[in-house]
Amino acid sequence: MQTDFAIWPSPPPSLARLVDSIGSNVFDAQLIHCLHEISGADHCAVYALNSDRVELLAAASINGSDHAQTRGLDYASSQSWRGDSGFLAAYGDSSMPRATLVRARKSYSARGRPQVYDKLFLYGIRSHLYGISVLRDDMHNPRFCERDLQRLSVFADMAFSCVDQHVRARERAVRALAPLGSVEIIESSLQRRTLGLSRRELQVCARILYGLPLPEIARDLGINPESVVTYKRRAFLKAKVSGRHELMRLYLES
């Protein structure tokens, strides 16, 4: 990637940590830290844009909350993206990574979640067509400035390469799980462990181990995406794991 040194004298320190996190369960967190360092972003969500649907691949908030994850899942599953100018631009012109600015002056949720004052949408194609929502909710400096846009445009090529490598690494990990059998077998095996998980928590964990993305878990279990996030958080707390990688290790070692 050619770096414009007038805009970006040196790569941010968080970029190296992002590259190191590819394929791991901390990729989401490293991505938002990198975006925050570059542009002051508060939340981000990464999507795979398919012909008739979008899939949430990663999401994180700089404050460590589940706002980006919950909103991203809801956005993908509720079809809200169909009226989003960023997504429409991506579907209409996917030949190059490009920054598209969408400004908002309203809250995306009435349930006490942060108001989104500005939103950027980056999109680009690698092995898939990807989109990255970059959101800011800072009331004291709500808008991304021109320098933020320039830096994000420079970073876009690297971002899509990292996302694509991360997705392919996770896909390889899912294929490696084929010998584990079905979701039902994994769930039954988890149930025999003394983890203290409820039935719904077992169901969610089994599907996470099997490699299903959270929106598909919600559809499979007939529950809303926010409930999936809640069950996942409770289960990981009880099992004393921080992500899918640690859950897999616990599953295989038990």
Task: Look at residue 180 in the predicted model and tell me its pLDDT.
Answer: 64
Identify whether 5 is part of a domain.
Answer: no
Of 171, 187, 218, the domain-final residue? 171
58 phi/psi in degrees, rounded to 5: -160, 150
Q: Are 221 and 232 spatial neighbours (Cβ–Cβ below 8 Å)?
A: no
pLDDT at site 62: 94
What's 84's domain CATH number?
A: 3.30.450.80
156 & 79 share domain? yes
**Contact between residue 46 and residue 131 where contact means Cβ atoms under 8 Å apart:** yes
Strands 54-61 and 43-49 come out as antiparallel
Residues 165, 231: one domain?
no
pLDDT at 107: 43
pLDDT at 182: 82
> Is 2 within the bounds of a domain?
no
Indicate whether 4 belongs to any domain: no
Owning domain of residue 42: 13-171
CA angle 130, 32, 98 (to 5 degrees): 35
Q: How many CB atoms lie within 10 A of CB 6?
A: 7
Q: What is the CATH number of the domain that holds 212?
A: 1.10.10.10
* Letter string b/e over residues 86-99, b meaning 16 or more CB atoms within 10 A of that residue's CB: bbebbbeebeebeb
Same structural domain, 18 and 96: yes
Residue 73 lies in a domain: yes
Indicate whether 248 and 136 sit together in one domain: no
Residues 67 and 61: beta-carbon distance below 8 Å: yes
Asked if 161 and 210 sit in the same domain, the reply is no
Residue 99: HSE in the Cβ half-sphere, 13 Å Cα cutoff:
21
Q: Which of 171, 197, 230 is the last residue of a domain?
A: 171
CB 216 within 8 A of CB 226: no
Measured from the Cβ of residue 158, the count of other Cβ atoms closer than 10 Å reads 17
- The verdict on 46 and 123 lying in the same domain is yes
Q: Does 6 fall in a domain?
A: no
> 66, 237 in Cβ contact below 8 A?
no
Q: CA-to-CA distance for 41 and 133, rounded, in angstroms? A: 10
Is 29 among the domain residues?
yes
Residue 86 resides in a domain: yes
Which of 171, 197, 221 lies at the terminal end of a domain, its last residue?
171
Structural domain count of the chain: 2
Whether residues 188 and 105 fall in one domain: no
Ordered per-residue pLDDT tens for the chain, 254 residues: 444 445 565 677 899 999 999 988 789 999 999 999 999 999 999 998 888 888 888 899 999 888 888 888 878 877 888 888 888 888 887 665 555 656 554 444 434 455 667 888 988 888 888 999 999 887 666 788 888 888 888 888 899 999 999 988 877 776 666 666 688 888 888 888 878 999 999 999 999 888 788 888 888 899 988 899 999 989 988 988 877 767 877 787 65
- Residue 1 exposed, middle or buried by CB count within 10 Å (0-12, 13-18, 19+): exposed
Answer whether 0.75 is exceeded by the pTM: no
pLDDT number for residue 106: 46
Give pLDDT, residue 3.
46
Domain shared by 51 and 150, yes or no? yes
Query: Do residues 83 and 112 both lie within one domain?
Result: yes
Q: Are residues 72 and 155 in the same domain?
A: yes
Q: Do 161 and 183 sit in the same domain of this protein?
A: no
The whole-number pLDDT of residue 137 equals: 83
Q: Are residues 207 and 145 in the same domain?
A: no
**Crossing angle, helix 146-176 and helix 13-20, to 10 degrees?**
20
Contacts of 178 (CB under 8 A, 6+ apart): none
